[in-house]
Amino acid sequence: MLNAFTALPYKKFVSGTTLRRPTLEQAINVTLNDPAPLVMTDFEHVIPITELPTLTLPEANDRMITYGVRLLFVTKNDDTILGIITANDILGERPIKHIQKYGGCFNEITVNDVMTKRSQINAIAYSDLLNASVGQLIKTMKMFDRQHALVVEGETHAVVRGLLSATRISQQLGIKLEPSNRARTFQELESALMSAA
């Protein structure tokens, strides 16, 4: 039965062989009137980075640097979301408060100790995002007062479809921000938009 097929040749691995990773979506320039989906990182095209809650903060920070992201999804082994952790959560005051309350040191703190729990995460429905403009999105995102927001689709079996980032949106809008005045939240993004106008 297999006589009609020829085998493929094997190749030896050369020194320095690496894994191919998906390329990041190319961010395109937008205006406030453009469709909101243009500023979403779409998980149909980009693989989200997930980690277990037992990961230590230094390990989580290293993973963010390695993958070039500022947010990790904290999940069970079956991809059920337990929470999210951002670079601001790791490098901000949450670890300090944890040490003040429970003792220990930074290297012992796990992602589970300082992440934003699933019950505290707000999201935007993908169906609403499809009919929104970038301006509407920024206005809506001020309510979350975080650097990132999630987009979900489905009701009974909700799935995170994408991610919105204040930093990415400011870049796509072409807003030049000083490093000390980097948009960390959508509130700050709106303020930067008003001062640029």
Place of tokens 């390990």: 59
Instruction: Let me know if residue 2 belongs to a domain.
Output: no
Say yes or no to pLDDT of 25 above 70: no
How does pLDDT run across 136-160, given as a tens digit for each residue?
Answer: 988 888 777 777 889 999 877 789 9
Instruction: Report the CATH number at residue 81.
Output: 3.10.580.10
Nearest Cα to Cα of residue 164 among 149, 185, 147: 149
pTM: predicted TM-score of the whole model, two decimal places: 0.77
How far apart are alpha carbons 36 and 132 in whole angstroms?
A: 5
Lowest mean pLDDT among 7-21, 48-62, 126-140, 170-184: 170-184
* Residue 62 within a domain: yes
Count: domains in the chain: 1
> What sign does the dihedral 32-33-36-41 (CA atoms) show?
negative
Domain-located, residue 83: yes
Is residue 3 assigned to a domain?
Answer: no
Task: Find the domain containing 140 and state its range.
Answer: 27-196
Q: At 148, phi and psi to the nearest 5?
A: -125, 155
Residue 180 has pLDDT above 50, yes or no: no
In a domain, 184, yes or no: yes
* Start-to-end Cα distance in the chain: 71
In-domain check, residue 9:
no
Asked if residue 166 belongs to a domain, the reply is yes
In a domain, 152, yes or no: yes
**CA–CA distance, 61 with 55 (Å, rounded to integer):** 10
pLDDT digits (tens, 9 = 90+) for 89-123: 999 999 999 999 999 999 999 999 999 999 998 88
